[in-house]
Structure 1
Amino acid sequence: MRAAEIRECGRPPAVAERKPPVPGDGEVLVDVLAAPITPLDLLCATGTSYFGTPATPYVPGVQGVGTAGGRTVWFPSPAGMAPGDGSMAEAAAVPESSLVELPEGADPVQVAALGLSAVAAHMALVWRGELSAGEQVVVLGAGGVVGQAAVQLARTAGARRVIASARSPQARERAARAGADAVVPLDTADVAELARRFADAADGPVDLVLDPLFGAPAAAAARVLRPGGRLVNLGSSADETCPIESSTIRGKSLRLLGYTNNELSAAQRASSVAFIAGEAAAGRLAVAHETAPLEDAAAAWRRQRDGRAEGRIVLTPRPAG
């Protein structure tokens, strides 16, 4: 079979012929239809992640969509985090217990593009963030997959107003297409100026901030939270530290909450994936993405890594149909 291989950490994958995987006890063979190139894939392949340096060669791909036993399924993989191969191949051996069957009408590529990024947005909003109908939400970094999904999922969860923010004009356009009521530019690190922009865009105090950025944007968004408001942090794309004042936290008795998909149980993850796929199949959830054939994995990898892609790139080892 054809597969993408990481042969040397820090370099893009090369496409090669490999023996098809042989399923072990409790595993099934999945014919892969769609394999997204995610930030976690890129990080693990550098050899500098907290998971350590992966043994090479290995097939990357921490998640994918394919067919098994007549079903269309989403599946996870520990590739790059633990020994074993991932989704960027024509076939993958996957524990049957980790498969999530997708609803009829779900587009494999769109579900792959959403994947665990959308799961993070969903669970950070409704589980960790306890979003209630009628609340006002700020989504930071809303041009990325997590942010685009969060804007749409906040709306379907009943948020009365969703304020997005993003750095580049292209990212702000993606946030607007996702359905944000207002989009705030993040083109400065001036916390007071960003806070003013959020306040101008808001209809009164904000109830919940979804934050994959940290840094100055998070500090600014915290200033417009209502007393008892919540900020859920699930990333640090802007900075590893945040200049939030103690008086802001104490003065409003704010709740600062951390989130990671790693905290989810298998059942929670499967339930969220199924929900995400259902929303996508119903036409209520979509994110900007591109497709590329498996043969173009190296070029696609470089474009995703360098930020030159229009959204998430999804490799198609076995295009549907």
Structure 2
Amino acid sequence: MREPGRPPVVGEHPDPAAGPDRMTVRVTAAPVVPLDLLCASGTSYFGRPAVPYVPGVQGVGVVEESGVLPAGTRVWFATSAGMAPGDGSLAERCAVPDADVVPLPDGVADPAVAALGLSAVAAWMSLTWRARLQSGETVLVLGAGGAVGQVAVGAARALGAGRVVALCRSDAAAERAARAGADEVVRTGGDVAALAGRLGAACGGAADVVVDPVFGEAATAASRVLAPGGRLVNLGGSGADTAEFSSAALRSRSADVLGYTNNALTAEQRAGALTAVLGHAAAGALGVEHEVRPLDRGPEAWAATAAGGVRQVLVPA
């Protein structure tokens, strides 16, 4: 990334080096995610990043040099590329803080782990930690065709939800949500009252938990179908930065509107969530549909992510 707000280019960059509390990893798979684009925009709440830098906030690889793990250990890792000075995962090699590395079990291929990553952590923790999902409850997932949404659908099912309803905008997203395991898929469109009516009908009257990476009118409609004691967890604003809620509706149902960010997790919470998700992924219970491209086609993956396409994962050329 040479200039914030412009696409990255493929090129040579100095090799990373291990150091105190940092290891080097040979990258085997790394996703391009919306957070990468946000950080690189130069207009986010993280501020303007120092350039040039290698983007990529997460990846999968093999330890090369470390003071805490044997060389050859297969790991998932996180970086602060674009949020703080330093380089990220969209490269052949990466230097990573020891605390941001999670050794991986067998059973899930590297590109599939990369596609899951922090999106899966967010979906899992939104359901378990923030929403306190109980077996038999009804879950409504907004934006269910995206990476977070696909995992939320599968995770809700794995956690014992009684019914899982998905809200999607496009045909392709609806198909992904259905393949992820949604009992019913509702399409966006019409006014908020009409959308709330369709969501209520699909949920069998009310939703106990709403997973919301969208906000805007979708969240407004979903808030109107919350069950007594219902919980709406917002973890993104891909649709809009604001939503309108009825005080009477929230108070009459003693409903909760909760915020979520992965940045609030401890390293132990993040590792535990990823390990749990990968166990279900190995059993075929959840996943994120993705497209694999070689590293030298990184700009194409960047453009596809900006266009809202399927999750892009880069692997060594």
Q: TM-score, normalised by structure 2?
A: 0.95
* Counterpart-to-counterpart distance in 1, 2:229 and 2:220: 16
| Structure 2 counterparts to residues 222-261 of structure 1, below 5 A | 222-261=223-262
Q: Please name the residue that 1:3 is paired with.
A: none
SS of aligned partner of 1:16: coil
What are the Cα deviations for residues 134-189 of structure 1, in whole angstroms up to 9, with x where unaligned?
A: 1011011101000000000000000010000111111111111111000000123x
Establish whether residue 179 from structure 1 lines up as the match of residue 181 from structure 2.
Answer: yes
| SS of residue in 1 equivalent to 2:11 | strand
1:27 maps to which residue? Answer: 22
Aligned-residue CA RMSD in angstroms? Answer: 1.1
Partners of 1:107 and 1:281 within 8 A in 2: no
* Pairing 1:154–2:149 present: no
Aligned to 2:311: 312
Contact 1:207 1:230 in 2 (8 A): yes
1:81 paired with 2:80, answer: no
Question: Whole-Å Cα distance in 2 between the matches of residues 234 and 99 of structure 1?
Answer: 23
For 2:168 and 2:206, the matched residues in 1 are separated by 20
After superposing the two structures, state which structure 1 stretch, 122-131 or 284-293, moved more.
284-293
2:42 maps to 1:47: yes
Asked if structure 2 preserves the Cα contact closer than 8 Å seen for 1:62 and 1:77, the reply is yes
Q: Give the match for residue 67 of structure 2.
A: none
CA distance in 1, matches of 2:239, 2:301: 24
SS at match of 2:10: strand
Residue pairs, 1:96-107, within 5 angstroms: 96-107=98-109
Instruction: Quote how far apart the aligned CAs of 1:99 are.
Output: 1.1
Runs of 4+ in 1 over 3 A off after TM superposition: none
Size of the alignment, in residue pairs? Answer: 310
Amino acid at match of 2:234: N
- Percent identity over the alignment is 57
Query: What are the ranges of 5 or more consecutive residues in structure 1 without an aligned counterpart?
Result: 1-5
Q: Which moved more, 1:136-145 or 1:297-306?
A: 297-306
d(CA) in 2 for partners of 1:286, 1:20: 33
Distance 1:273 1:220 in 2: 31
Q: Which residue number corresponds to residue 57 of structure 2?
A: 62
CA contact (8 A) 1:168 1:187 kept: no
CA distance in 1, matches of 2:20, 2:137: 47
Tell me which residue corresponds to 2:95: 93
Q: Is the CA contact 1:40–1:62 (under 8 Å) kept in the aligned structure 2? A: yes
Partner of 2:66: none
Confirm or deny: 8 A CA contact 2:2 2:8 kept in the other structure. Answer: yes
Unaligned runs of 5+ in 2: 64-70
TM-score (norm: length of structure 1): 0.94
Q: Is the 8 A contact 2:79 2:100 kept in 1?
A: no
